[in-house]
């Protein structure tokens, strides 16, 4: 039995969101160099905190 259009659309959007999150997380982690720019450092730190928290929530819910 095939999924309804709305379920297929929701599933596709979730996969796209996961892909975007993975790409952004990879970019944040690939630029580990300390810079003299405090704004960039703060954005990087905030991104790391976000993804650590996000991963912990997913683990708690048994989704990883």
Q: Where are the domains of the chain?
A: 5-60
pLDDT(13) > 80 = yes
How would residue 26 be classed by pLDDT, with cut points 50, 70 and 90? Answer: confident
Q: Of residues 46 and 30, which shows the higher confidence score?
A: 46
**Is the Cβ–Cβ distance between 33 and 41 less than 8 Å?**
no
How would residue 4 be classed by pLDDT, with cut points 50, 70 and 90? Answer: very high
Give mean pLDDT, residues 14-35. 77
pLDDT(49) > 60 = yes
CA 7 distance to own-chain centroid: 22
pLDDT(37) > 70 = yes
């Amino acid at each position: 039995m095939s999924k309804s259009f709305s379920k297929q659309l929701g599933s596709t959007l979730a996969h796209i969101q996961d892909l975007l999150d993975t790409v952004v997380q990879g970019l944040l982690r690939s630029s580990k160099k300390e810079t003299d720019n405090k704004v960039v450092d703060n954005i990087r730190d905030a991104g790391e905190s976000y993804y650590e928290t996000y991963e912990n929530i997913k683990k708690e819910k048994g989704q990883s």
